[in-house]
Amino acid sequence: MALEKVIEAKHELKNKKRGGAISTEKNTSDRLVCVSCGMAVEVDYPLTESSQDEVEKRSGFRPESHRIILYGYCQDCACNLN
């Protein structure tokens, strides 16, 4: 069931890309998503903001928003893998 949620989210993202519509909202919600239980946690790490600044500095491209989703195993599910 949890994997189905992740797959559904990926399909939703693909559909948005195909539609050609790009959101101009300042969306910087980065998430950690467990592929086992489906737990999703919003995170706010300075690394993502500094990476965005670095992109602008190196390329001249001025990012307006970003979204990073890391897929893996939460602490509880990772303990059950062994």
What CATH number is attached to the domain comprising 52? Answer: 3.30.1490.190
pLDDT digits (tens, 9 = 90+) for 46-79: 667 778 888 889 999 988 877 889 999 999 999 9
Look at the chain and report how many structural domains it folds into: 1
Q: What span, in angstroms and rounded, lies between the C-alpha atoms of 48 and 41?
A: 15
- Phi and psi at 42, nearest 5°, equal -80, 135
- Per the structure, the complete domain to which residue 64 belongs is given by 2-19+28-81
- Nearest CA to 6 out of 76, 78, 81, 70 is that of 70
Copy the structure tokens of residue 32: 């950690």
What's the predicted TM-score (pTM) here? 0.55
pLDDT digits (tens, 9 = 90+) for 1-42: 555 555 555 545 554 544 444 444 455 678 999 999 999 998
